[in-house]
Structure formats: C-alpha cells, structure tokens
Homo-oligomer: A and B are copies of this chain.
Amino acid sequence: MGNCQTSSSRPKSTDIRISLPAVCIVWQTAMIILFGVFVRYNDETDAHWGEHMRQKNITSHVENDFYYRYPSFQDVHVMIFVGFGFLMTFLKRYSFGGVGFNFLIAAFGIQWALLMQGWFHSLDPVDGTIKIGVENMINADFCVAGCLIAYGACLGKVSPVQLMVMTLFGVTLFAVEEYIILNLIHAKDAGGSMTIHTFGGYYGLVISWILYRPYLHQSKRFQGSVYHSDLFAMIGTLFLWMFWPSFNSAIANHGDGQHRAALNTYLCLAASVLTTFAISSLSKKGGKLDMVHVQNATLAGGVAMGTAAEFMITPYGSLIVGFCCGILSTFGYLVLSPLMEKHLKIQDTCGIHNLHAMPGFLGGVVGAITAATASESVYGREGLVNTFNFVGEFANRTVNKQGAHQAAGLCVALLFGLGGGALVGGILKLPIWGDPEDENCFDDETYWEVR
C-alpha cells in the first residue's frame, strides 16, 4: 500500500477494537448515572399533568406543548439523522462512514446535550434536577447539529473515536456559548444561524485546519462521487431542504412566531435554489450543472434565515436573503474552497464553510439588522415584546440595543467556534485515536466490514 514514509512520519494503527467500545460503553454508563442523578420529567411529561392542568386552569390536553412542537420535532429529527446522514453519503466509498458515524455521534450527542443544556436552561431551582420534555428534545437535536456540521469538514479523515471526542467537546462548548448568547446577551436565535451554524462551521474548520493532511492526494482514488452516491446524497439534501421551515420554527413562539418562521424559511429556501442553479450553470462549459452545488448551496437559505425567521423580515426580505445565499454559497464551492485548501491548508470535505459558516455568519448579520430596524408600527407593541421577549430585566431594551446585542452574540459564536476548534483540534492531533493514513482516507474498508 505504498511507502509509509512518504505519506506520514508515523505509522498509524486504525484498530479501534478497544477504544471505540470503551468510549461507547463508558460514556453511555456515565449518561445513565448522570440521568439518574439529574434528569426528571417536566410538568407536561409527568403523570401529574392532570393535576397541573387544574392548577393552571388548562382545559384541554391540546395545550400540552407536545401538540405544539412534536410534529416540528419529528421533522428536525429527520434532518439530523437522514438529512445530515445521507448528505454525507456522497463519497463513492465512504457512504457507510457518512451515514453510520453520523448516527453514532448524534445518538450520543443528544443525550449529553440534554444534560448540558439542562443544567443551563431547565434546572429546577427547588430540587436541583433537570426537567425535560419535547422542547428539550428539539434543543438536543439542535445542539447535535452543530457537531454534525463540524463532522462535515472532517468527513473521511477521522476515526469514530475522534468523532466521539469532537462531539463531547462540541456539545459542551455549544451549551456554554448558547447560554451566553441567549441568556446573558439575550440575543434571539430560534433557528441557530449563530449558535448552530456559525459556531459549528468554524469549530469544524479549525479542527480540519489543525488536522491538515499534506498527502491527502494519495487517497484521491476514493475522492469524489459516483452516480448513485450522488443520488443518495440528494435524499439528505431534500429532507434538509423540505424540513428546514420546521427547524427554524420548532422552538419559536407559539402562534404567529412559529407560523411566520416557517413561512419565511420556505420562501428563502426557494430563492436559494434558483440562484444556485444559475451560478452553477454559469460556471461550467456548456452550462452543465454540478451536483455538489445542488446538494449543498440550495440549503444556504435555510441557514441564513436561522436568526431572522421569526422576525417581521417580510416575505420579499426572505427572498432577498435566499437570493444572495444561493449565489454566495455556490461561489464558495467554486472559488473559496480550492483557495482555502491551497493557501490556508483547510481541507473541508463537505464544504461546510460554504454551506454553514458563511451563510450562518450572514444570517447573524441579517438578524442583527432586522432586529435593529424593528418598530412598533410593524410589530405592534405586544408583538415587539413577544418577539424579542422584552420582559423582566429586558423590559426596557430598545430595538437598536437589541441589534447590537445580536451582533455581540454573533461574535461570541464565532469566538467559541474558533477557540473551541483550536482546543479540540489540539486534542485530536494526539496519536492515539486510530485515524487513518493519508492514503487510506475516504475508504470505508478502514472501519467497516465491506462486502
């Protein structure tokens, strides 16, 4: 299999027969213990719900949050497991790793996220336990999305043990930055342009930069797609695209909040598709389209609408954002990715810079501008208070100040992504994780029994 000395200074073992089972069993056991100590049903999942209804004068079961959010949760769940999973099957011989490791780390991540986010957001002050229900399930899926984005940059180049470590730290960092952005800074980010996409994108890019592989071209035979692997990837693309309105509206306010977030996202995504096809066709001889663009850049509109979807951005405002994102993201695949690999030494397998990092950052900016330009005439006094949650200690915040805080939140997400990526990248560089040689990247044979 070639000369090891040319490809890497150290011979590597990809044997994970001890490390992967150990990580899975030990961490799952830890989850059970921590859940036993900390996690309980909340009012709406507990069998005391009937008494709770009477105390709160709730007259119908339909007021249980389950009925407001569970359909959206299921859509989000599909995005996480089928959407991200199948989007990463596009490589000709790394489809098992794409969908399989995505499955593994998401299943671990949601458990750890329930704990981490629970400590920050759902802690019962009386008994010190975390009370969970459907909203926590959605938030856990969201949190994991950040880690799956980061996986996209490293696809085919890391071991499953590394991915587990990346997820452990990713979820932890996410919970902290989310707490700072949403609670301390009081920025709004229902669809996570900042907390999920900006953070996750830069987190993954920095890790990929630190794990730079100078001889990656030696596994060139496994790079790229084949006809049917591109079709499998389209399954991922379409489920992400179709359910993104649910993603951005899943934890928005009941009523008009969820309704508006879904509508804005729907429009933004539609516009992204047209400009993606336009730029893709324009860039190639004969106007031929590139599946990579269709699979990815069409989704950029959903990313960029993650902060502003619940705001009164207007239908045409949503279209404008989508219009720009399709162009920007396709341009990224055409121009920026090659440049980044050549000059910045960032090998970004799935192009998450173009699909998540840039559009996420743009979404944060759009959110700040939309917030800063909000007005009582557009929202109504009550609508303004509800949308931006100007209550309690934030009752006197102005929209201008809110805009500034949105921008501050974006910076926090960016810094956590960069800093967290540097930290975790350093850890993952240790020669103990079973990652493959440069010449064996993108090959399922490494970690799977392939028939």
Q: Once the chains bind, are A107 and B242 in contact (CB under 8 Å)?
A: no
Query: Does A15 count as interface, using CB distance less than 8 angstroms?
Result: yes
Q: Which chain B residues border A99 with CB–CB below 8 Å?
A: 231, 234, 238
Contact B32 A74 (CB under 8 A): no
Residues of B within 8 A of A448 (CB): 288-291
Of the 9-residue stretches A1-9, A81-89, A182-190, A191-199, which lies at the interface with chain B? A81-89
Residue A117 lies at the interface, judged by CB distance under 8 Å to chain B:
no
Give residues 1-57 of A contacting B (CB, 8 Å): 14-21, 24-25, 27-29, 31-33, 35-36, 39-41, 44-51, 53
A66: Cβ under 8 A from any B Cβ: yes
Once A24-B275, A47-B260 are accepted as A-B contacts, the answer to whether A61 and B315 lie under 8 Å apart by CB is no
- Residues of chain B within 8 A (CB-CB) of A258 are 64, 66, 70
Contact of A50 with B449 in the complex, beta carbons under 8 Å: no
Contact between A294 and B103, CB atoms less than 8 A apart: yes
Contact B61 A447 (CB under 8 A): no
Please state the number of chain copies in the assembly: 3
Q: Quick check: is A392 within 8 A (CB to CB) of the other chain?
A: no
Q: Which of B245, B281, B382 contacts A17 (CB 8 A)?
A: B281
Q: State the CA gap A250–B264 with chains docked (Å).
A: 20
Asked if A125 is at the interface (CB within 8 A of a chain B CB), the reply is: no
A107 partner residues in chain B, CB cutoff 8 A:
269-274, 298
CA distance A254 to B16 in the complex (A): 46
A70 touches B108 (CB 8 A): no
- CB of B100 within 8 A of CB of A263, answer no
Q: How far is the CB of A394 from chain B (nearest CB, A)?
A: 17
CA distance A25 to B281 in the complex (A): 12
Which residues of A218-275 are within 8 A (CB) of B? 224-228, 230-232, 234-235, 238-239, 241-243, 245-246, 254-256, 258-260, 262-263, 266-267, 269-275
Q: How far is the CB of A201 from chain B (nearest CB, A)?
A: 24
Give A40 to B21 CA distance when docked, in angstroms: 55
Q: Does A277 contact B (CB under 8 A)?
A: yes
* A60 / chain B contacts, CB cutoff of 8 Å: 60, 62-63
- When distances are taken between beta carbons in the complex, the residues of chain B under 8 Å from A14 are 286
Expressed in whole angstroms, the Cα–Cα distance for A107 and B93 within the complex equals: 31
A67 contacts partner chain B, Cβ-Cβ < 8 Å = yes
> Known contacts A89-B231, A287-B21, A312-B41; is A380 also within 8 Å of B51 by CB?
yes
B316 and A277 contacting across the interface, CB-CB below 8 Å: no
A428 at the interface (CB under 8 A from B): no
Between-chain CB contacts (< 8 Å), 19 pairs: A17-B287, A19-B287, A20-B277, A20-B287, A25-B275, A29-B323, A40-B314, A46-B256, A47-B386, A49-B255, A61-B255, A62-B68, A70-B71, A71-B74, A96-B230, A99-B238, A111-B267, A111-B319, A288-B447
Give the interface of A toward B (CB within 8 A). 14-21, 24-25, 27-29, 31-33, 35-36, 39-41, 44-51, 53, 60-68, 70-72, 74-75, 77-78, 81-82, 85-86, 89, 93, 95-96, 99-100, 103-104, 107-108, 110-111, 132-134, 137, 160, 224-228, 230-232, 234-235, 238-239, 241-243, 245-246, 254-256, 258-260, 262-263, 266-267, 269-275, 277-279, 281-282, 284-291, 294, 298, 312, 314-316, 319-320, 323, 378-380, 382-384, 386-387, 434, 447-451
